[in-house]
Homo-oligomer: A and B are copies of this chain.
Amino acid sequence: MKHSLRMKMNESLFLRDPELSELGKNIIKYSVQLISKQGFESFTFKKLAESIGTTEAGVYRYFENKHRLLVYLISWYWGWLEFQIVFQINNIDDPEKKLQKIITLLSKNIEDDKSTDHVNESLLYQLVISEGSKAYLTNHVKQDNKQHLFKPYKDLCKLIGDIILECNPKYKYSRSLASTIIEMAHLQNFFIQYLPSLTDFAATKSEHDIISFLNHLVFSSIKNAELQQSNKKK
């Protein structure tokens, strides 16, 4: 039997729920294509409307502006990823193994998930790598945050943070380490593709190197209790 996965999205993100109509689903589908291929800056509702075969006004009925649409796509991704993570670590007891699994899921380009028809996760992963931080790097972060637009990201960060605490309940930087893992998995990926000299992986250009790096970084830090106090004194 086939299962289909549906995210429940924050309603302030859209004017009309795009998952409830063909046009809406097309807006999602084609915006992922266009943004992942040409970048968010050169993406316009006009181009989107043309590639769908509707009009600009049609798109504006679903999304207030292109930034909201971007945040929608990215939130969708975080929600989807959290589900994948929860699913995949479900039967694992060892928190360290959980964390390793998470690092892998964050670092590896994913295949298109057939249970979500209108979203190509592989393209969406590239989109989140290149455009993800633009969701919050705006002068209206505070207002957006008040509307809980970043909840999926925060939830994921908390989930990972809590697993870090399972590994070492005395670790003091669980949230910051969690956000570091998330951001760095993506950013090292971006650097490998476009600015390889900012990484050590120019030769192989392999995600496995990112995974090794992050595992080493994360577990060294989590397991190292002694330094946590002493650094402050220096």
A residues adjacent to B (C-beta < 8 A) = 38-39, 41-42, 100, 130-131, 133-134, 136-139, 141-142, 145, 150, 153-154, 157-158, 172-180, 183-184, 187-188, 190-191, 194-195, 197-201, 208, 210, 212-213, 215-217, 219-221, 223-224, 227-228, 231-232, 234
Q: Are B42 and A217 in contact (CB under 8 A)?
A: no
In the complex, what's the smallest C-beta–C-beta distance from A129 to chain B, in angstroms? 9
Q: Are B232 and A221 in contact (CB under 8 A)?
A: no
The 4 closest A-B pairs by CB, nearest first: A39-B139, A220-B224, A220-B220, A220-B221
Interface of A is mostly: helix
Residues of B within 8 A of A178 (CB): 198
Residue in B137, B188, B227, B228 whose beta carbon sits within 8 Å of that of A133 in the complex = B137
Residues of B within 8 A of A210 (CB): 176
Whether A173 touches B213, Cβ cut-off 8 Å, given contacts A137-B131, A141-B195, A179-B191, is yes
Cα(A188)–Cα(B173), bound, Å: 11
Q: Are B42 and A139 in contact (CB under 8 A)?
A: yes
Residues of B within 8 A of A154 (CB): 195, 197-198
Q: Are A216 and B173 in contact (CB under 8 A)?
A: yes
Q: Are A179 and B198 in contact (CB under 8 A)?
A: yes
Q: Are A38 and B184 in contact (CB under 8 A)?
A: no
Given contacts A184-B184, A216-B227, 8 further A-B contacts (CB under 8 A): A131-B137, A173-B213, A180-B180, A208-B232, A216-B231, A220-B227, A221-B221, A224-B224
Closest chain B residue, CB of each to CB of A154: B197
Cα(A154)–Cα(B196), bound, Å: 10
Residue in B39, B150, B221 whose beta carbon sits within 8 Å of that of A216 in the complex = B221
A-B contact pairs, 29 of them (CB 8 A): A39-B138, A42-B139, A130-B137, A133-B133, A136-B190, A136-B194, A136-B195, A141-B195, A150-B195, A154-B195, A157-B197, A173-B200, A173-B216, A173-B217, A174-B200, A175-B198, A176-B198, A176-B200, A177-B213, A180-B184, A180-B188, A183-B183, A184-B184, A216-B221, A216-B228, A220-B221, A220-B224, A220-B227, A221-B221
